[in-house]
Chain A
Amino acid sequence: MEFYTLQEFMTYTKGITYLLMAAILVGITGFWLFLTDRDEN
């Protein structure tokens, strides 16, 4: 993909970052559960 302006480039990269952020928030919650699943108490 080619970008001619910084504005275009940022729109694209930040868009992906936003999707990743949503995934991170869900993922980290799940991961915490996985991590502490076998803890007693």
Chain B
Amino acid sequence: MSRHDTALYRKELYTPFNLVAGIILIIGCVITVLRFTKGLGTVTHLDDNYPWGIWIGFDLLAGVALAAGGYVTSSAVYIFGMKRYHSAVRPAILTGFLGYALVVFALNYDVGRPWRLPYPFIMQQGTTSLLFEVAACVALYLTVLFIEFTPAALEWLGLRRARNIVTKLTMLLTIFGVVLSTLHQSSLGALFLLAPSKLHPLWYSGYLPVFFFVSSIIAGLSMVIFESTLSHHYFADKMDKTHLEEKEGVALGFAKAASLVLAGYFAIKLIGIAVDNNWHWLATGYGLWFLAELLGFVALPSLLYAVGVREKNLTLIKWTSGMTVFGIILNRLNICLIAFNWHLPYAEKYFPHWMEIGISVFILTIGVLVFRFIVTRMPVLYEHPDYKDTHH
């Protein structure tokens, strides 16, 4: 790097975004030190009735759902043969990989003794626990995503041989990815099957695993749209012609799929109410909240997506994707926190400590920074010139 470049780089470093990110990172580090020296009690509002807070509700449950873009996109392109979405695969895999990596990172804050996280595999296997299933799948899937992402890194590093070996595995990895995702996305919902007496009947259902799996597809599709608009805003200069040309098609195609899956999700949610005869709960306070989620963040986005697709209105699609993502986060928070322990009086309910929120924001910021680092260097939003037309 020449002198001039360095100066330019320095100047680029002091953007408002970087300053805010820097402050968040510093605060995050301070809270991290507190967490690991003083214990969970100091930095969280967790208690014996609410052993799970936003680090599980948001970082784990919502995080995993929102990272579903990886398996959704790669299966659409490689398994269902929708080659026209090919340029969306790499960014989706990258977000997926970062998402899962951060979920695992966040878990280190939440569990009491993080250094024991491998214990379920190396010490004693609690095979009756859905959490065992989730842990195994997340660990394996993180590995799969990592391997799926390596071609971009290897191209960047110029390691052609290694890159070609990995791309040969694409099909196998994609199928593994879908199997593992089906399992752990649904198992996250199944975690709550064990607590019928604590979760409000409107949210508790024998279909919880199916609900979680189907909504993860919605989250994945919407995240791809959402994130591609953001990327387009900030990294347009990094995108190649194919990416820019395919972008619109990706948004339209994914919005159409999301609209359809949302409609199906709405239908099975209704069936869920009917199967347990929960209609009478709809007239209660929790019922209104449930309806707000179901109508406002499932039915409405389905409709808006449909209108957006019919009228080729990309702005509408963009906003709807944000709304859908918010709806999925809301659903996970409802199940894990808001409708959980619904028997408890209001005073005993959980509200996160500001430091819990701080860590969640801290982790999100790390994700954005790493994403930026990678897309500004590795061939993610564009195809590496040496490997054009080697679509695997």
Contact = CB atoms under 8 A, between A and B. Distances in A.
Interface in A1-41: 7, 10-11, 14-15, 17-18, 25, 29
Interface string B115-134: 00000000001111000000
Interface of B: 125-128, 136, 172, 176, 179
A14 B176 CA distance: 21
Contact of A11 (B127, B136, B176, B179): B127
Contacts, number: 17
A13 B324 CA distance: 40
Interface of A: 7, 10-11, 14-15, 17-18, 25, 29
Contact of B176 (A10, A18, A25): A25
A18 B128 contact: no
A14 B172 contact: no
Chain A contact residues: over half helix, strand or loop, or mixed?
A: helix
Nearest to B127: A14
A29 B172 contact: yes
A28 B126 CA distance: 26
Contacts of B128: 7, 10-11, 14
B125 A15 contact: yes
B231 to A, nearest CB: 34
Nearest to A17: B127
Contacts of A17: 127
Contacts of B176: 25
A10 B130 CA distance: 12
Nearest to B128: A10
A18 B172 contact: no
Contacts of A11: 126-128
